[in-house]
A = this chain, B = another copy of it.
Amino acid sequence: MSKKPLILVTNDDGINAPGIRTLIHVMNTIGEVVVVAPNSPQSGMGHAITLDSTLYVEKIIIDEGPQTEYSCSGTPADCVKLAIREKLTRKPDLCVSGINHGSNSSINVIYSGTMSAAIEAGIEGIPAIGFSLLDYAWSANFEHTKAFLKTIAENVLKNGLPQGIVLNVNIPNLAKNEIKGIKICRQARANWVEEFDKRKTPQGKDYYWLTGKFVNLDGGEDTDEWALEHGYVSVVPTQFDLTAHHYLKNLNDWNLND
């Protein structure tokens, strides 16, 4: 009998979040699961790493499952680094991050702690997937995501992913029978139009809360936003070579050394 695949699970909402508990539950049906996840929510952390403070990692038991779990004081990227260097005895066959409570589609990938963990694993040459559900609520219903998590994770284990590519998977907040299927997509050109909510402290000093609304500027029908709006699970192959290769020649034409 072949050895079960080793699966590293992490997230950015914290090790107690219902999203990661669902993900662990499904991964237990596929392989041997080790969890190294933040001990508190880290949303909006982007690809932060902890350079100037200490990191703690503690073995904990949260439920009755067969997985091994560690709670970490760092960011999602820290968790992946620590898992690989300090906690795992061999290189994992897969790293899955999530399920994020809320969308990481289109430009959200840039701000996403969930995806930063997947990218960190990708940098280490580990096939990796970030999963997100389009529901920000802590009490979100993850039941309908299970079949998709399993299908996509099993396919990544079977097919592998090339060096430099991880998957960004977003799942609509719909009943299972309303989801039309899985769609391979490109990242939509979209952004947030921030509105700062300006207030005064009781002492009279101005301060701000960051708020905003999401604007999809992309009319394409091959984007993650289109897929999600039309009832599909979106899968975007995501790379961390950020070079705009198509623009190298134009920049050379600037003749910056003249």
Residue positions of A touching B, CB distance < 8 A: 41, 43-52, 54-57, 77-78, 81-82, 84-86, 107, 109-111, 116, 119, 123-124, 151-152, 155, 159, 162, 164-165, 168, 181-182, 184, 186-187, 189, 191, 194-196, 198, 205-210, 235-245, 247-248, 251-252, 254, 256-257
Contacts and interface: CB of A to CB of B under 8 A. Distances in A.
B44 A50 contact: yes
Contacts of A46: 45-49, 77, 116
Contacts of A207: 54-56
A109 B151 CA distance: 32
Chain A: interface secondary structure?
A: mixed
Which interface residue of A47, A162, A206, A242 has the most chain B CB atoms within 10 A? A242
A244 B238 contact: yes
Given A44-B51, A109-B242, A184-B248, 5 more contacts: A44-B50, A47-B111, A81-B194, A86-B196, A184-B251
Contact of A210 (B81, B159, B184, B186): B81
Given A152-B256, A235-B256, A242 B50 contact: no
Given A48-B46, A116-B46, A152-B256, A82 B239 contact: no
Instruction: Count this chain's copies in the assembly.
Output: 2
Contacts of A52: 41, 43-44
A187 B237 contact: no
A107 B248 CA distance: 18
Given A45-B48, A81-B210, A209-B55, A237 B244 contact: yes
Nearest to A84: B194
Contact of A47 (B110, B155, B194): B110
